[in-house]
Amino acid sequence: MTVTAQDPAVRSYLKTLHTLLEGAPDQELVVDGVRQHIIDALGPEASDPARVRDVLHELGDPAAIAADARTSTNPIQLPFLQRRSGAILTVLLLTVGAFIVPVAGWIVGLGLLWFSTGWTLVDKLTATLAPIVLTVLSLGLAYLFTPFPAHLGLLGGFALGSIGAAVFLLARFREGGRAHVA
């Protein structure tokens, strides 16, 4: 949405801020936020020079805002396993990884799953046991219906279980972690 600030003092303030923020992170977001603040703060008194002066004074020196933008600490960064990208890696290891590096890929995926706080204990148990239970069931069926090849039962059961667990995990993941995992 385009917003405008027509007063010469406002235009000058925003232009100075924009120049001072040259090369700083989030330059456009900061200027846009300040511009919107001015418009909201002025409201229907947008043409009153005294009100404009007050609003700009309360905002503070553009140099101070630019200094804040340049010197502030890093933004809050979630640990990798609490971010969506961490969840996707975990799920990939539990599915594709298990077939690329048999057994080891799946075990590493399990390690990430159990260290993550983005899932509850019940979620973790379900995702761990589903491929095992389905593999055992498939092997049982393969045994009952011989000459159905056992390795197809093994692969089919595990694939079905791990894909189901992956869909379940992605639906249950909560970015940033669950405060009280249970």
Report the residue number, 1 or 171, with the smaller CB distance to another protein. 1
Query: What is the nearest approach in angstroms of another protein to the Cβ of residue 141?
Result: 41
Query: What is the nearest approach in angstroms of another protein to the Cβ of residue 177?
Result: 6
Report the residue number, 56 or 142, with the smaller CB distance to another protein. 56
What separation in angstroms does the CA of 78 have from each of 54, 65, 84, 125? 39, 26, 10, 24
The site for another protein (CB under 8 A) is made up of 1, 3, 25-26, 29-30, 33-34, 36-37, 39-41, 43-44, 58-62, 64-65, 68-69, 72-73, 75-78, 82-83, 174-179
Secondary structure (3-state) at 178: coil
Distance between CA atoms of residues 173 and 6, nearest Å: 47
Give the distance between the most distant pair of CA atoms in the chain: 91
Report the residue number, 10 or 98, with the smaller CB distance to another protein. 10
The first and second tokens of residue 173, run together, are 């993941």
